[in-house]
Amino acid sequence: MHTAVISKWGNSQAIRIPSEIMKEKKLHVGDQLSFVISDSDSIVIEISRNPGKKLKAAGILQKYAKGKPDPEAERKAIEEAIIEKYSKGIM
């Protein structure tokens, strides 16, 4: 298990990613990461291999967000994204 400390970086905060993780996950400076916050005290960092699509989906989910996770709103957002993606060829 790797650990990191939140540090000050100018007017922002930052964490450093250990070089072992960078190598293992084939990450490079400038790669985009996403943070997924769960109901518990967990934050999951995901690699955004296709950041445009991830950001669009995150925007759809954010449209329904009201502070706390809402499974029904998330289901509706995902359903809306699927309809948007796949209905283009049907209509």
pLDDT, tens digit, 9 for 90 and up, residues 42-79: 888 888 876 555 555 566 566 556 566 667 777 777 77
Burial of residue 77 (number of CB atoms within 10 Å: 0-12, 13-18, 19+) = buried
Region 1-20 average pLDDT = 90
- Please, which contacts does 82-89 make with residues 24 or more away whose CB atoms are closer than 8 Å? none
In a domain, 1, yes or no: no
In a domain, 27, yes or no: yes
Count of domains observed in the chain: 1
Amino acid type, 43: I
Q: Residue 28 sits in a domain of what CATH number? A: 2.10.260.10
pTM of this prediction exceeds 0.95: no
**Residue labelled with tokens 């669009």:** 56
In a domain, 15, yes or no: yes
**Domain containing residue 63:** 7-86
Rounded to a whole number of angstroms, the CA Rg of the chain reads 17
In a domain, 11, yes or no: yes
